[in-house]
Structure 1
Amino acid sequence: MIVLDMVMNLLIESCPSYKERSEKYMKENYEEGEERLLYLEMSDLAEHIVALYKKEQTDEFDKLFETIELLHTEGNHEVRVLASVGLLEDIQNHILRDEKLTLAAFETYLGTVSLEWWTHLIYFWEGKSDYLGGPVKK
């Protein structure tokens, strides 16, 4: 089972281009021994992922999105929530800031469970469900 302490290492292993940026982020935002704010780190990683896409540098995407799927399928509850509400939602938010990008463009990279949560996020923000993962309103 994947736990929170494992998440960033797994994501960096699957997206090595983020390693240097992550190290810089850590130095700029944390004192030694300080508790990590993983949701903020997810936002930074999401920005990196969308930037890679915009530069058409998607060679790491297969492994990266396999890892995101693994977080959804092998992670404990906290990890699954972080993968959805932390990372996927932040990717969507960064996409929506750019008029040239669409949410659908990223769907081809998502695994089955990740795509399900991706869609749940969209439905929730569009007001089509009352809560994340809830049924679609008729």
Structure 2
Amino acid sequence: MAIEREQVVGLLLEACPSFEDPWRDGVEEEGADEGGRLHYVDAAAFARHVAALLAAGRTAELPATFAVIERLHVEGDDHVRELATIGYLEDLQNALLRAGLPTDLAVGWLGPVSVRWWRGVQDFWSGRTPPPVRPVD
């Protein structure tokens, strides 16, 4: 059975317990769509949190965190795979840039499928490839 959108935050909270408080704060502030959470809002908040962890050198939760991102790419349904790339990876690249950190700071933590999509996002935004975002070897 594929991972569905409603399962994503639970998996990430389990892997990265330090995200619990920021996520709960966001639930109250942002509201929901279609009776559920705004998944891309969650992704942006999570990306900011991971960028802050990287900036602070707090890496204990990162292996499990990026293992979940890899699972989203490999085991997710169509919506979850897109969310993993366009939500979590793209937002993390942007969060790192906004924090003044190099985007390659996260690459070493990514699984092999996630790295391909990470590069695809970079190629898309650099103009090297047309839409849609595709994985890059």
Question: TM-score, structure 1 length as denominator?
Answer: 0.91
Matches within 5 A, 1:47-66: 47-66=48-67
Aligned partner of residue 133 in structure 1, secondary structure: coil
The RMSD of aligned alpha carbons is: 1.7
- 1:113 aligns with 113
- 2:77 aligns with 76
Aligned partner of residue 37 in structure 2, secondary structure: coil
How far the C-alpha of 1:135 sits from its partner, in A, is: 7.6
Gaps of at least 5 residues in structure 2 are: none
Gaps of at least 5 residues in structure 1 are: none
- 1:15 aligns with 16
Matched positions, count: 134
How far the C-alpha of 1:24 sits from its partner, in A, is: 1.5
Residue identity opposite 1:30 in structure 2: G
How far the C-alpha of 1:134 sits from its partner, in A, is: 7.2
Structure 1 vs Structure 2: percent identity of aligned residues?
35
Residue identity opposite 1:8 in structure 2: V
Q: Could you report, residue by residue, the CA deviation over 1:12-49 in whole angstroms, capped at 9, with x for unpaired residues?
A: 10000001111111122227x84321101100110010
- 1:129 aligns with 129
- 2:93 aligns with 92
* Moved beyond 4 Å, runs of 4+: none
More helix by share: 2
